[in-house]
Structure 1
Amino acid sequence: MARGKRYRQAAELVAAATEEAGGPLPLEQAAKLVKETGRAKFEESVDIDIRLGVDPKHADQMVRGSVALPHGTGKSVRVLVLTNEGKQAEAEAAGADMVGLDEYVDKIQNEGFTDFDVLIASPDVMPQVGRLGRVLGPRGLMPNPKSGTVTNDLTEAVEAVKAGRIDFRVDKTGIVHTSIGKSTFTEDQIRENADAFLKEIVRLRPAAAKGGYVRSVTLSTTMGPAVPVDRGAAVVSTR
């Protein structure tokens, strides 16, 4: 696949840095380099990819959760709250973009509506929400108590998501991929967000995971090359 001049120049920077370091880079240096290689003419996302030594086909090796990033993600998050009338005013006051129940359940089930980023539900409506798994599950939008998106405290949940809490889960190949900021963030903001995410990944290590847990870590911008991060960053971040 042919790459543009900007990408090739950015890739050369990464190659030179990793050669000089003798391998993957310390997190601080990687954060600096990923910002330097974000050269698109638009505001790119900064992504982190972590390959884990788990087999997600086994329930006891599934890694999923949520984490509040210190500096948020830099993007506006559309939140849908499904709850009964008695708690709808609370969700609206907390800043939810869409609030309701039956009309949204029907719209998701019959029209495949998924024009939102996060779905939060109160426990009492989960029997209805559970029927939406076929639509929501493949898109990673199904609410879950472990990620804080099934809760009676709708105010806290909505405010946390709006402030920068993200949900994540390992995919079928054993990789966790998510955005942790924007190319306009400072180097320190990128590093601190990446550090917070790594801490949570390490904390969630399944007891059934054998051998090396964090196999590789990379940072990249939307249009930029992957910058390899020293796996030791995941260990240091927990100290």
Structure 2
Amino acid sequence: MKRGKRYVDGAKKVDRTVQYESADAIKLVKENATAKFDETIELHIRTGCDGRHAEQQIRGAVVLPHGTGKTVRVLVFAKGTKVDEAQAAGADFVGGEELIPKIQNEGWLDFDVVVATPDMMGVVGRLGRVLGPKGLMPNPKAGTVTMDVTKAVNDIKAGKIEYRLDKTNIIHVPIGKASFTEEQLADNFQTLMDAIIKARPSALKGQYLKSVTMTSTMGPGVKLNTAKYV
């Protein structure tokens, strides 16, 4: 795979044999984020879990203290007084049954997170085939199936992110933007890692975190020292 000059130059600064401390990794990743847009800083956490077993699944959400730097569009499925509540909380779109054909037939997906009240999950369930593969299906563990619509919307707008295992048992999550200060990224990183450590499945035997890599959208990955998290 041919890499661009910017990536190659950045890769020269990263010692592949070294596992960096988080502060050094953040500094290096920020230095290498030289694209013309504000790159996202991401973590890729390879776990020792086997997601095929329900008791080893990891899924949850955490509010990053400094947010993600991204404007998140929230869709809320609600009815009755909860419609007004969602609108007052700042949801971008609120609706019910009438949104099903718009999403199913017209392919409308102009939102990043879906929240639903429990009494709407029968309706939302019909969108499983569309929302499921895109990771947009509301889930109680992520706090997106709830009667407390105000808190759900506020948390998401404040920088709440969801983390979950993918098919290869890796967790991919953003921790901010290249324009963030090192301190802001460090705070977000620590908050996320604390949540991931807490989410360790009790059924897991052996090593939990196999590797943690930090990278920017266009930059090379930097491996982190995971000793303190084992």
Smaller-chain TM-score range? over 0.9
Q: Secondary structure of 1:49's partner?
A: strand
Establish whether residue 229 from structure 1 lines up as the match of residue 224 from structure 2: yes
Match of 1:217 in 2: 212
User: Hey, what's the Cα distance between the residues in 1 that align with 2:48 and 2:148?
Assistant: 35
User: Hey, what's the Cα distance between the residues in 2 that align with 1:234 and 1:118?
Assistant: 30
- 1:36-95 deviations in whole A, cap 9, x for unaligned? 111111110111100000111111111010000011000100000000132111101100
Q: Secondary structure of 1:192's partner?
A: helix
* C-alpha RMSD of the superposition: 1.2
Question: How far did 1:128 drift?
Answer: 1.1
- Aligned residue pairs, count: 230
Question: How far did 1:233 drift?
Answer: 4.7
Task: State which of 110, 113, 132 in structure 2 corresponds to 1:115.
Answer: 110
Residues 152-231 of structure 1 aligned to structure 2 (within 5 Å): 152-231=147-226
Normalising by structure 2, we get a TM-score of 0.96
Q: Secondary structure of 2:171's partner?
A: strand
Q: Secondary structure of 2:9's partner?
A: helix
User: Hey, what's the Cα distance between the residues in 1 that align with 2:107 and 2:164?
Assistant: 22
Normalising by structure 1, we get a TM-score of 0.93
Match of 1:151 in 2: 146
User: Hey, what's the Cα distance between the residues in 1 that align with 2:37 and 2:204?
Assistant: 40
User: Hey, what's the Cα distance between the residues in 2 that align with 1:198 and 1:61?
Assistant: 18
Residues 1-239 of structure 1 aligned to structure 2 (within 5 Å): 1-15=1-15, 23-235=18-230
User: Hey, what's the Cα distance between the residues in 1 that align with 2:104 and 2:54?
Assistant: 27
Q: Which amino acid aligns with 2:61?
A: S
Percent of pairs with identical residues: 54
User: Hey, what's the Cα distance between the residues in 1 that align with 2:84 and 2:100?
Assistant: 18
Q: Secondary structure of 2:186's partner?
A: helix
User: Hey, what's the Cα distance between the residues in 2 that align with 1:214 and 1:86?
Assistant: 44
- 1:167-194 deviations in whole A, cap 9, x for unaligned? 1210010100021110000111111111
Moved over 3 A (4+): none
User: Hey, what's the Cα distance between the residues in 2 that align with 1:233 and 1:96?
Assistant: 39
CA contact (8 A) 1:40 1:223 kept: yes
User: Hey, what's the Cα distance between the residues in 1 that align with 2:73 and 2:27?
Assistant: 30
CA contact (8 A) 1:31 1:188 kept: no
Q: Which amino acid aligns with 2:169?
A: G
Question: How far did 1:102 drift?
Answer: 1.4
Q: Secondary structure of 1:3's partner?
A: coil
CA contact (8 A) 1:7 1:224 kept: yes
User: Hey, what's the Cα distance between the residues in 1 that align with 2:193 and 2:85?
Assistant: 33
